[in-house]
């Protein structure tokens, strides 16, 4: 009799343990109650991986241009639940399709476009300022290599300066004076075989214009205005340029993307970080 009771108790305990180890299915979640310590093991992610498709959309896609962002946003058709965030400092447009517009949202289904600078724009921005002054030969090479980005009559003047410097065997700069039209006239002496040669004059513009594609994939060129600066020292000259309000030019160019997305996406566009 005692053995029968013990067997019945053992069977009851085994049945309860087996029941505890059964997978619990509550709506779209799956769990397992582990008797030791009464732990709960969430199996939802593992079960979801075995399904033909995830239970909901999530993840972040990186897009290369505004047209792709607009196409992706249209495919998601989440205008009622999502926002697009415009981060001017980071040059980012971020669409969050499961945002909190219509109620609580996980905010983990996103599409991101970053306005990347072209190599040409990076080069001009990286060499901006007196800390990046060029020697005579460096300046000549830089202008010749990037002449395609220069606009207006000043471009020819700069190319003439670069050509004169690079084509002359030895050139000593003696003085400089500012002309009425705002340009600077540099007086130099060409040295050949350690002997003084012909004197010459070189006019350099006060301002010049750079026109280039600022962002990758952009259709239009953006214009920068630059001030050409120089410094004479012991017969040599150093050149540099200072861009006028380059961050403003970038902001205006990015604002065109924001305006396009606001107009064509159908989503509410908010200014800020996502």
Q: What is the mean pLDDT of residues 144-157?
A: 91
Question: Could you tell me which of 209, 211, 221, 224 has the C-alpha nearest to residue 256?
Answer: 221
Residue 201 covered by a domain: yes
248 domain residue, yes or no: no
Residues 127 and 29 both lie in one domain? no
Least reliable range by pLDDT among 27-31, 37-41, 179-183, 237-241: 179-183
CATH of the domain at 64: 3.30.720
Domain count, the chain: 3
Residue 263 and residue 176 share a domain? no
Contact 220, 214 (CB under 8 A): no
- Size of the chain in residues: 274
pLDDT at 20: 57
Asked, for residue 15, whether it belongs to a domain, the answer is yes
Residue 228 covered by a domain: yes
Rg of the chain's alpha carbons, rounded to an integer? 34
The reply to whether 54 falls in a domain is no
Residue 196 lies in a domain: yes
Residue 93, pLDDT score: 98
Give the residue with greater pLDDT, 21 vs 136. 136
Residue for token digits 């049945």? 15
Burial letters for 51-88: b for 16+ Cβ neighbours within 10 Å, e otherwise? Answer: eeeeeeeeeeeebebbeebbeebeebebbebbbbbbbb
CB 249 within 8 A of CB 223: yes
Q: What is the mean pLDDT of residues 71-90?
A: 98
- Same-domain status, 125 and 39: no
**Domain match, 134 and 216 both:** yes
Please check whether residues 257 and 179 belong to one and the same domain. no
User: Within a 10 A sphere around the Cβ of 254, how many other Cβ atoms?
Assistant: 21
Higher pLDDT, 217 or 269: 269
Residues 76 and 159 in one domain: no
| Co-location of 184 and 139 in the same domain | yes
User: pTM of the full predicted structure?
Assistant: 0.76
Q: Are residues 94 and 157 in the same domain?
A: no
Are 14 and 87 found together in one domain? Answer: no
Q: Does residue 215 share a domain with residue 142? A: yes
What pLDDT is recorded for position 106? 96
> 164 is in which domain, residue-wise?
119-243
The answer to whether the CB of 41 falls within 8 A of the CB of 34 is yes
222 and 127 in a common domain:
yes
> Are both 137 and 231 inside the same structural domain?
yes
Two structure tokens written together for 205: 């513009």
């Amino acid at each position: 009799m005692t053995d029968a009771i013990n067997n019945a108790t053992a069977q009851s305990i085994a049945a309860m343990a087996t029941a505890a180890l059964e997978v619990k299915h509550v709506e779209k979640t799956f769990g397992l109650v582990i008797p030791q310590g009464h732990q709960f093991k969430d199996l939802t992610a593992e079960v979801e991986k075995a399904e033909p498709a995830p239970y909901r959309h999530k993840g972040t896609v990186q897009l290369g241009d505004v047209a792709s962002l607009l196409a992706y946003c249209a495919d998601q058709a989440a205008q009622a639940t999502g926002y697009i965030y415009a981060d001017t400092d980071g040059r980012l447009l971020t669409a969050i399709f499961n945002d909190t517009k219509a109620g609580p949202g996980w905010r983990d289904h996103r599409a991101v476009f970053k306005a990347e600078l072209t190599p040409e724009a990076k080069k001009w921005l990286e060499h901006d300022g007196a800390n990046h002054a060029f020697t005579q030969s460096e300046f000549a090479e830089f202008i010749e290599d990037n002449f395609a980005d220069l606009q207006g009559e000043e471009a020819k003047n700069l190319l003439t300066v670069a050509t004169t410097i690079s084509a002359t065997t030895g050139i000593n700069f003696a003085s400089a004076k500012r002309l009425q039209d705002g340009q600077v006239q540099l007086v130099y002496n060409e040295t050949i075989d350690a002997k003084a040669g012909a004197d010459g004059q070189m006019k350099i513009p006060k301002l010049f214009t750079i026109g280039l594609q600022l962002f990758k994939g952009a259709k239009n060129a953006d214009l920068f205005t630059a001030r050409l600066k120089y410094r004479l020292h012991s017969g040599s000259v150093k050149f540099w340029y200072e861009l006028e309000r380059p961050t403003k030019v970038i902001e205006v160019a990015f604002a065109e993307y924001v305006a396009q997305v606001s107009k064509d996406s159908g989503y509410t566009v908010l200014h800020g970080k996502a």
